[in-house]
Amino acid sequence: MPVRSRTSDPLPGFRLALFSTLLWIGLIVALPLAALVLRPWQEGLGAMTTALHDGRMFAALRVSFVTAFIAALINVPVGLLLTWTLVRVRLPGRRIVDALIDLPFAIPTAVTGITLATLYGPQGWLGKPLAHLGISIAYSTAGIVVALMFVGLPFIVRSVEPVLRGLPPEQEEAAGLLGASSWQTVWRVVLPSLLPATVSGFGLAFARGIGEYGSVIFIAGNQPFRTEIAPLLVVVRLQEFDYAGATSIAFILLVASMLCLAGVAMLRRRVARGLISGVN
C-alpha cells in the first residue's frame, strides 16, 4: 500500500501565522473600511443625496485635493535632490539629516501644526520677515501646502533612496565614457531608473496629504470655502450630529485615496514595463 506523503507547512507555525494575519486584517482594516462604506447608505439614498449637494463639502474637498497635489508635486524635485545628497554626497552631519527626514513619522501631527503655525505666523521667526515682503504663509492655502510638504517629503525620499543606492555605477561610468556630460547622465540614465519609485512616493505623499488633519488645522485658518480642509469638515459635521454628512465626506476621501493608490500602482507597473522594454 503506497504511503501518502504529507506536505509540510512551508514555515513552522504557518497556519497560526496565517490565521492571525487574516484576523488582524479583518478586525483592524477590513471591518472598519466596510463599516465606512456601508454607513452613508443606512439612512437612505435621500440622506446621501442631500449630503452630496453641500457646497461647503465640495469646497473643502477641492482645498484638500489641490493642496495635496501641489505639495506632492513640489516634494518630487526636493525629495530627489535630498536623496541624491544623502546617497552620493559625503557631507558632515549627513546622518543627522537622514534621521530628521523621518521626523514627521515620529512626532504627533498636532505638534507639527503648532510648530509650523508658530514659525510662519505673523510674528513668527519666518512669518514676520515674509510678511514684510508681502508674503503670507500662515492661515492661507500656502500654509496648508507647507504643512503637507513637511509630512509628505519622507515618502518621496524613502521610496527613491533604496533604488538610488542599488543603481550600478557601471551605467554612469559607461555614459561618461560615451561622452555624456554629468547632466546628460543624470537626465538619461539615473532619472529614468528612479521614475517608478518616484511615482510611488508621489502617490503615497498625495494620499497622505488628502487625509492629513493635525498638522494642517493650526496653520490653515480653517475658513469655510477658502482654507477649510475635508478632514476638518468631517469633525465639524460630527459635532453637529450630521452623521450622514460626515460619513459622506469620509467615504469620498476613502474612495479617492484607494483610486489614487490603485492608479499609482498601475502607472508604476507601466513605467517599469516601459523601462524593461527599452533595455531589451
pLDDT at 10: 61
pLDDT at 277: 55
* Burial class (CB within 10 angstroms; exposed 0-12, middle 13-18, buried 19+) of 262: exposed
Q: Apex CA 82: angle with CA 201 and CA 71, to 5°?
A: 50
- 210-244 burial, b at 16+ Cβ within 10 Å, e below that, comes to bbbebbbbbbbbbeeeebbbbbbbbebbeeeebbb
Across the 280 residues of the chain, what is the mean pLDDT of every consecutive 10-residue run? 53 74 80 73 68 81 92 94 86 82 86 89 86 86 93 92 84 75 79 86 89 88 88 88 80 80 79 60
Question: What is the CATH topology of the domain spanning 48-274?
Answer: MetI-like fold (1.10.3720)
